[in-house]
Amino acid sequence: MKIIRKIILPFLVFALVTGIFVLCMNSIQKKINGIKVSEKLTDTDPVENAPPIVAFTTVALGSFRGLVADLLWLRAISLQDKGQYFEMVQLASWITKLQPRFTGATAYLAWNMAYNISVTFSSAEDRWRWIKRGIELIRDEALVYNPSDPVLYKELGWIYQHKIGNIMDDANLYYKNQIAVELMDVFGGPEPDWKVLAAAPGDEEQFRKRCPEKDPVWKALKDSEYNSLDMLEKEFRTNRKLPDKFTVLLKDADEVKFIENYFRKRWLKQKYKLDSAKILEINNKYGKLDWRLPEAHAIYWATLGLDHQKSGEPDISCDRMITQSLVDAFKGGRLLMFDKNNFKSFMTAPNLDVADALKKTFQEVYDRQKSKSFLSGFENFMTEAILTFYNYGNYTKAKKYLEDQRKMFPHNPRYRVDVDDFVIREWLEVAKDGTMKQVMSIIDGLLFKSIYFLAYGDTDAAAAHEKLAQGVYLHYKQSQNESWGRTGLPPYMEIKQRIVDNCLANFPEPVSASLRSALEEQKTLKKEDQPLPKDK
């Protein structure tokens, strides 16, 4: 028994001494961290919610956090090689906290999750979960430590522009649909009134200045048994609206709307880090963007990247991201249809409102960067704009843009034709070699004009435009030899039905009634109509 005591006693003493040491070190380290933060002696915050081994090693090593980060890097690489991904989320967060100024590491970790890890999963839901985590690592963590680093803004914008906005991922429609669903919950509809939202209070202190102590809001809050504004806000986010028992007591529709805008502004800022005043500024500069779409978010983050760049050489990558995303917004920056239960119903149309601002932006960027790539992009956009304006019936604008092209490239014979010949020739080229977005823009525009003419009784013009749409559709399908998927086209009748539904929903009632009548008449003559193109 004495021998056992002699063996166990040293271990107990060692364990007690070690425990006391760790507790003392933690207490001392907390005081040191507090002094460092309060006196701004460091911009590196303590590691939180780490396991004991990480916390202890961090305390023991102090400034040698990089060694701990290296070990975590090795662990992360080992897990990825084994296909064990889920622990990597926490590892990436710790690495970011241990080396908050090493933004290249955070950018890589976010990119790795959004691109490499996401595609190892077959389901769109699982892929989206990893892409969101990549976004959150930069947006919610790295930018907290580095709010003035343009590299992080650029990397965040790139995930929106390329991974979500592009079509190279088979599940891209699911990602776009998810963003639209999430943001419409915050907006309370397709979009908020950005001017009103920007003017709303940003925090409770500003709210109390607007609603002082004797304001009816506080009595309604108390009588409805909400102990604080935070509790009411939590209820609002859960149910997407203010509770009835509060609004009934408040009895003021304007005040209800004011409180809703206050909560929506905070929700947008706290969860998505989107500043409504900055969004309003961007809309005023470039034209009204649809903030349910990824292109708008890429523009937002790239704009912040430009705002935070250091004096000297301008950041060409942020400039390029803005112009490219504006081009994408012009081609398909207006959301027509989506369904959270069927992401393949997602459908966009060109946003013609951004064209003139985009043209001006291209010119400004080219003057600033003197880059031939911007000049080439500018020329391609102008051609795209001519086709789109023509396609949607704005012939005057199409002609004006073609005249501008002649002035910019006076020696290019491509532009020394009239607008009708130019458009027809370019359509054939696009149908053969263009992207899906370009072809869809042509087909959508032709079908829109066909339905427009049909609603106003011009059946000949309607038939002519639909025949053109069918021709472009078939020409592209034959050249691609590909079924509906990542880069193919959906069935023709599905495209047409979406355009019809949108027109019926948005035309004035007399025009909608006329269109319904014409469509019913077409059904009775269906056997005599030219057959619609069939998908192979």
- Give the pLDDT of residue 536: 45
Closest CA relative to residue 298, chosen from 275, 264, 328: 328
pTM: 0.75
CB–CB of 470/492 below 8 Å?
yes
pLDDT of residue 484: 44
- Considering the chain, what percentage of its residues have pLDDT values greater than 70? 80
CA-CA distance, 30 to 65, in Å (whole number)? 16
| Cβ–Cβ < 8 Å for 386, 419 | yes
> In which band, very low, low, confident or very high, does the pLDDT at 275 lie, cut at 50, 70 and 90?
very high
Query: 268-273, long-range: CB within 8 Å, 24+ apart, which pairs?
Result: 268/186, 268/197, 269/202, 271/186, 272/139, 272/183, 272/186, 273/139, 273/140, 273/143
Alpha-carbon torsion (155, 157, 159, 161), positive or negative: negative
89 close to 133: Cβ distance less than 8 angstroms: yes
Mapping DSSP onto H, E and C, the string for 69-104 reads HHHHHHHHHHHHHCCCCCHHHHHHHHHHHHCCCCHH
Q: Write down the pLDDT at residue 314.
A: 61
Whole-number pLDDT of residue 279: 97
| HSE value, Cβ hemisphere, 13 Å, CA-based, for 320 | 16
DSSP state string for 185-207: HHHTSS---HHHHHHS-SSHHHH
Q: What is the pLDDT of residues 250-268, one digit of tens each?
A: 988 899 999 999 999 999 9
3-state SS assignment for residue 379: helix
Q: Is residue 20 within a helix (H) or strand (E), and if so which, with residue range?
A: helix 2-38
Residue 281, classified by CB atoms within 10 Å of its CB into exposed (0-12), middle (13-18) or buried (19+), is middle
Flag the least confident range among 67-76, 316-325, 504-513. 67-76
Contact (Cβ atoms closer than 8 angstroms) between residue 63 and residue 42: no
How high is the pLDDT of residue 43?
A: 45
User: Can you tell me the distance from the alpha carbon of 384 to that of 398, in angstroms, rounded to the nearest whole number?
Assistant: 10
**Domain regions of the chain by residue span:** 62-141, 434-528
Neighbours of 2 (CB within 10 A): 6
The H or E element that residue 336 is part of is: strand 334-337
Nearest Cα neighbor of 160 from 139, 181, 184, 144 is 139
Instruction: List pLDDT tens digits, range 174-192.
Output: 999 999 999 999 999 989 9
At residue 59 the predicted structure's pLDDT band, cuts being 50, 70 and 90, is low
Q: What is the pLDDT of residue 41?
A: 44
d(CA 483, CA 491): 9
Q: What is the pLDDT of residue 327?
A: 92
DSSP secondary structure letter of residue 164: I
Single-letter amino acid, residue 456: Y
pLDDT tier for residue 235 given thresholds of 50, 70 and 90: very high
Q: Do 127 and 171 contact (CB within 8 A), yes or no? A: yes
Has residue 46 got a pLDDT over 60?
no
Q: How many residues does the chain have?
A: 536
Q: Is pLDDT above 80 for 26? A: no
For residues 305-328, average pLDDT: 83
Looking at per-residue pLDDT, the higher value among 95 and 129 belongs to: 129
Instruction: Give residue 236's pLDDT.
Output: 95
pLDDT of amino acid 29? 52
Q: What is d(CA 107, CA 101) in angstroms, rounded to the nearest whole number?
A: 11
Q: Per mean pLDDT, which of 50-64, 317-331, 454-468, 521-535 is the most reliable?
A: 317-331
Sign of CA dihedral 131, 135, 136, 137: positive
Least-confidence region, from 46-60, 282-296, 360-374, 395-409: 46-60
Mean pLDDT of 453-467: 80
What whole-number percentage of the chain has pLDDT above 90? 36
532: confidence class by pLDDT, cuts 50, 70, 90? low
CB atoms within 10 A of CB 465: 23
pLDDT of residue 311: 66
More confident residue, 305 or 31: 305
Coil, strand or helix: which one is 334?
A: strand
Question: In angstroms, what CA-CA distances link 370 with 213, 302, 315, 376?
Answer: 58, 19, 13, 11
Reply yes or no on whether the pLDDT at 207 is more than 90. yes
Query: How many Å apart are CA 261 and CA 192, to the nearest integer?
Result: 9
pLDDT of residue 27: 57
Under the banding of pLDDT at 50, 70 and 90, the label for residue 20 is low
Q: Is the pLDDT of residue 458 over 50?
A: yes
109-123, 457-471, 480-494: which has the minimum mean pLDDT?
480-494
Neighbours of 434 (CB within 10 A): 20
What are the C-alpha distances in Å from 511 to residues 266, 336, 394, 458?
A: 41, 19, 20, 13
Please state, in angstroms and as integers, the Cα–Cα distance from residue 368 to each residue in 151, 157, 329, 363, 496, following that order.
Answer: 20, 21, 23, 9, 43
Per-residue pLDDT reduced to its tens digit, 499-520: 898 888 888 888 888 888 888 8
**What is the overall mean pLDDT for the chain?**
81
pLDDT given for residue 52 in this prediction: 56
Q: Picking from 60-74, 80-94, 385-399, 431-445, which range would have the lowest pLDDT averaged per residue?
A: 60-74
pLDDT at 6: 52
> Residue 436, CB half-sphere, CA atoms under 13 Å: how many?
18
Least confident of 238-242, 304-308, 350-354, 518-522: 518-522
The per-residue pLDDT for range 212-224, each reduced to its tens digit, is 988 999 999 999 9
pLDDT at 483: 46
